[in-house]
């Protein structure tokens, strides 16, 4: 067993400033792995250096990639960018202070999706307390029932509820829809929406112009050199989380500390590079194994989901940087331990070995003293025991794991974790030669959705008081019968004037509008 202890010590990457360590001793790699990978690791480090210096690191969109400058504005490639970042830091802080000092607001409704929601949700939950200055709520979808639920909890407090609308392009339909629904709800309640509305968006975007025209309370910028999934330390996160009262300066400082650490070119002392290499090792550089993320701490439950977005949207690409079809990816899932031990660790230990685990260990159990739930043992001791026990059990059955240990869930540590994984994703993308900073595949679904909305309007127009089948209407419209059929079923479910009669097969179902009365 001493060889495991030796391996643990040999490969441990740790830092006394943050108290964070990355333990790869339970990953399955041989002594030649790191030497073999060293040239590619150095190439990835060099690519990252170029990126940080302001190169067009996102070639498809011809954009710089600047999220690292957000916490070290002095590293921005031009004085103008540096000033923009510093102004944003100052202005978001002043705005939050002014709102809090006014005493007028108790809540904020944040409207965004993807990178414009998940980052703020993660930090809000990880660092929030009962003493928060404002309580955050989210619209993160275009589900009208979901919005109704959130509005129902806020309905008597609209007067004291800010609305923060976050959309880089300003044209994301889910976010635009949520904004219009919130605006309508405020109007119904007779509350001035514009006086409570804040936009976080690209300068001169559709949303920016709308907010300006309506005289919204405030507007903050987003930049094309910050991608949605790495925007948490831009105004996207700064505005809502400073309003909540979180110490975002400490989050930024923690990220900056991690950035400095992960710039080291000594592979085995660079925790982000070590993580990237472990992903490569586990999945043979082609995503052959899923990454299961298990933070043993309730506050970090959304970190798993945050990493799911960060990793999968960055790495899941059809083409490599040379345009070769590679269908890369790295599937990520997980919630939290020890809860997930009662959900699917059964499969992890005994079942299909198609994953590697990432344990996130938080050393500190709680603030204050603890009850002994058994002689000499607290809840925190059990939590630690379950993590270590599961790591051992997985290792014994030949399952690999990485363990990231942090002292506590503080603003600095959360910032450091974000920065650690942002850079690991960038390194890994270099190792497998894909562009981590675009998302071309998202467009196909959007285009198909737009076509479906267009078709729905035609289908509605083709309905008559005489019952018709989907194939009949499809023939009229020269459209696909299945798409027409689903449009009809959807209309019948959501419009009392459209009536459906079920036939033997979907093709025999009939649809009609009620006769005008």
What is the length of the chain? 517
Is 137 a residue of the active site?
no
What three-state secondary structure class fits 200?
A: strand
> How far apart are the C-alpha atoms of 420 and 376, rounded to whole Å?
35
> Is 290:117 a contact under the CB 8 Å cutoff?
no
What the block records as the tokens of 298 is: 């309730």
Q: Distances from the Cα of 90 to the Cαs of 93, 188, 376, 425, in angstroms?
A: 5, 35, 49, 29
Q: Which of residues 152-211 bind a second copy (CB under 8 A)?
A: 152-153, 173-174, 176-178, 180-181, 184
Q: Which of residues 472-501 bind a second copy (CB under 8 A)?
A: 480-483, 485-486, 489-490, 493-494
Q: Which of 10, 214, 364, 446 is catalytic?
A: 446
Residue closer to a second copy (CB basis): 89 or 473: 473
Q: Distances from the Cα of 337 to the Cαs of 168, 344, 382, 385, 388, in angstroms?
A: 34, 11, 11, 11, 11
Neighbours of 352 (CB within 10 A): 7
Min separation Cβ 57 and a second copy, Å: 18
Min separation Cβ 260 and a second copy, Å: 19
> How far apart are the C-alpha atoms of 129 and 246, rounded to whole Å?
9
| Size of site (CB under 8 A) for a second copy | 144
Out of 56, 194, 349, 476, name the contact with a second copy by CB under 8 A: 349
Min separation Cβ 89 and a second copy, Å: 26
| Binding of a second copy by 444 (CB under 8 A) | yes
What the block records as the tokens of 25 is: 């001793």
Residue closer to a second copy (CB basis): 85 or 488: 488
Stretch that binds a second copy, among 54-62, 90-98, 268-276, 404-412 (CB under 8 A): 404-412
What the block records as the tokens of 40 is: 């590619």
Stretch that binds a second copy, among 57-65, 93-101, 211-219, 455-463 (CB under 8 A): 455-463
| Binding of a second copy by 243 (CB under 8 A) | no
Is 52 a residue of the active site?
no
What's the 3-state SS for 72-117? CHHHCCCHHHHHHHHHHHHHHHHHHHHHHHHCCCCEEEEECCHHHC
Out of 89, 162, 226, 312, name the contact with a second copy by CB under 8 A: 312
Is 446 a residue of the active site?
yes
Strands 107-111 and 161-167: parallel
Out of 97, 441, 497, 514, name the contact with a second copy by CB under 8 A: 441
Q: Which of residues 350-389 bind a second copy (CB under 8 A)?
A: 350-355, 363-368, 370-371, 373-374, 376-386, 388-389
Min separation Cβ 475 and a second copy, Å: 11
What the block records as the tokens of 393 is: 């059990």
| Binding of a second copy by 86 (CB under 8 A) | no
What's the 3-state SS for 439-476? CCCHHHHHHHHHHHHHHHHHHHHHCCCCCEEHHHHHHH
Q: Which of residues 43-72 bind a second copy (CB under 8 A)?
A: none
| Binding of a second copy by 324 (CB under 8 A) | no
Q: Which of 313, 317, 361, 422 is catalytic?
A: 313
What the block records as the tokens of 142 is: 């275009």
Min separation Cβ 287 and a second copy, Å: 4
Neighbours of 272 (CB within 10 A): 28
Residue closer to a second copy (CB basis): 89 or 315: 315
Min separation Cβ 61 and a second copy, Å: 14
State the catalytic residues.
313, 342, 446
């Amino acid at each position: 067993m001493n060889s495991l202890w030796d391996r643990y010590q040999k490969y441990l990457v740790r830092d006394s400033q943050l108290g964070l360590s990355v333990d790869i001793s339970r990953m399955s790699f041989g002594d030649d792995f790191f030497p073999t990978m060293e040239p590619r690791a150095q190439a990835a480090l060099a690519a990252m250096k170029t990126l940080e210096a302001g190169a067009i690191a996102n070639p498809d969109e011809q954009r710089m990639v600047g999220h690292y400058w957000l916490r070290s504005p002095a590293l921005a490639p031009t004085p103008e960018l540096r000033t923009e970042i510093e102004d944003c830091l100052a202005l978001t802080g002043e705005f939050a202070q002014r709102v809090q000092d006014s005493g007028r607001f108790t809540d904020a409704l944040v409207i965004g999706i993807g990178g414009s929601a998940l980052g703020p949700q993660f930090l809000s939950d990880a660092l929030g307390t009962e003493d928060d200055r404002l309580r955050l709520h989210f619209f993160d979808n275009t589900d009208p029932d979901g919005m109704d639920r959130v509005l129902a909890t806020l309905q008597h407090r609209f007067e004291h509820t800010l609305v923060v609308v976050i959309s880089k392009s300003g044209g994301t339909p889910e976010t635009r829809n949520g904004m219009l629904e919130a605006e309508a709800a405020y109007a119904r309640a007779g509350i001035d929406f514009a006086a409570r509305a804040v936009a976080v968006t690209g300068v001169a975007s559709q949303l920016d112009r709308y907010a300006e025209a309506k005289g919204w309370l405030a507007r903050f910028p987003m930049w094309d050199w910050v991608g949605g999934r790495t925007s948490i330390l831009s105004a996207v996160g700064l505005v809502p989380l400073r309003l909540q009262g979180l110490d975002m300066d400490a989050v930024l400082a923690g990220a900056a500390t991690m950035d400095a650490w992960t710039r080291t070119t000594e592979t085995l002392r660079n925790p982000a590079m070590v993580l990237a290499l472990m992903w490569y090792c586990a999945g043979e550089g082609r995503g052959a194994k899923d990454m299961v993320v298990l933070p043993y701490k309730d506050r970090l439950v959304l970190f798993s989901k945050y990493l799911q977005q960060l990793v999968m949207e960055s790495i899941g690409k059809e083409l490599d940087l040379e345009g070769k079809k590679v269908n890369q990816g790295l599937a990520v899932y997980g919630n939290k331990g020890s809860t997930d031990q009662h959900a699917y660790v059964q499969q992890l230990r005994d079942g299909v070995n198609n994953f590697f685990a990432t344990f996130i260990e938080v050393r500190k159990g709680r603030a204050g003293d603890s009850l002994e739930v058994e002689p000499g043992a607290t809840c925190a001791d059990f939590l630690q025991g379950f993590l270590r026990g599961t790591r051992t059990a997985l290792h014994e059955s030949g399952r690999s794991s990485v363990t990231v240990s942090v002292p506590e869930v503080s603003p600095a540590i959360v910032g450091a974790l974000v920065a650690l994984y942002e850079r690991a994703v960038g390194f890994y993308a270099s190792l497998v030669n894909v562009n981590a900073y675009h998302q071309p595949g998202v467009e196909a679904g959007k285009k198909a959705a737009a076509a479906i909305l267009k078709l729905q309007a035609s289908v509605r127009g083709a309905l008559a008081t005489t019952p018709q089948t989907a194939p009949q209407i499809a023939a009229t419209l020269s459209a696909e019968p299945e798409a027409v059929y689903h449009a009809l079923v959807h209309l019948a479910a959501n419009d009392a004037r459209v009536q459906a009669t079920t036939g033997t097969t979907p093709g025999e179902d009939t649809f009609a509008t009620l006769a005008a009365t």
